[in-house]
Copies of this chain bind each other. A is one copy, B any other.
């Protein structure tokens, strides 16, 4: 039932090489070409990408590792990467690892022998360095990672200085005269710790006490802030490493009668479009997702196609985007 190039050649009364040439837009005599076209149309023949891939040693496919595509940060990254790479004829396999090591391992094993390269989004994937066996799977393909560095042959790191981003934002509040600034940390990975570090550093320099709250629920900003308000009635600043948490914080503060942007400033992280949905709109640290994702896609493409071995890290700086909440 399934038609292949042999069938086409036979029925078009020519050789498979000629059909192959036709398929690849090489010179074929018009009459032969016409016969081939007719047969192809008749059977609705489509060449097998897999067989092509075997010869070309490439399926023109890359994998993008994220924690959870439902989180705006990852969705944005995946969107820009796919957009950029699709232009160059690459398909994007999405790997929702949920940050679980077993899941990461499974995806790597399945995907590494099928893709031309991998992009890891987020420092959590640094964990892979602890497992040489897993690393071995990706030792021969080009790899890009944001906010990390993998010990493989060809790894291009792309850094966005989250820590400095938070540090600057904290400074900004301090300079505005805020003294009682709390930080809400989401999850416990390297990236989250670094961000918290930026906050602590700025507070320390100003001789203010650091005050860190934790949540592991992306939508847990509301509840954690309710606690925070009870603990600390004089709160005048809240910073979080995730926009969504900061938006939850705003809701909690407003519901407690604390005017955000006036009595208390709130700053988020990512500067996702969700900032606009908040009331007041959320001032946030823009961590350059679009820029860094496009750079990741470009770098990977270069590494794949030009055997590029430039593994110098690329560095982006955050930028505070001021809106109503601070």
Q: A interface vs B, CB < 8 Å?
A: 2, 44, 46-51, 53-54, 57, 59-61, 63, 68-70, 72, 75-76, 78-79, 82-83, 86, 89, 91-96, 103, 106-107, 110-114, 136-137, 139-140, 218-219, 222, 244, 247-248, 250-251, 254-255, 273-274, 276-279
Interchain CA distance A137-B48 in the complex, whole Å: 12
Residues of B within 8 A of A136 (CB): 44
Chain B residue with the shortest CB-CB distance to A92: B94
Among B51, B79, B106, B110, contact of A96 (Cβ-Cβ < 8 Å): B79
Among B59, B86, B106, B273, contact of A107 (Cβ-Cβ < 8 Å): B86
Please state if B75 and A277 are interface contacts (CB–CB under 8 Å): no
User: Knowing that A47-B113, A247-B277, A255-B279 are A-B contacts, what are 6 other residue pairs whose CB atoms are under 8 Å apart, sorted by A's residue number?
Assistant: A61-B114, A86-B103, A86-B106, A93-B94, A254-B279, A274-B277
Please state if A89 and B112 are interface contacts (CB–CB under 8 Å): no
Among B50, B95, B255, contact of A59 (Cβ-Cβ < 8 Å): B50
Separation in Å of the A293 CB from the closest CB of chain B? 12
Residues of B within 8 A of A247 (CB): 277
Please state if B277 and A93 are interface contacts (CB–CB under 8 Å): no
Residues of B within 8 A of A57 (CB): 2, 50
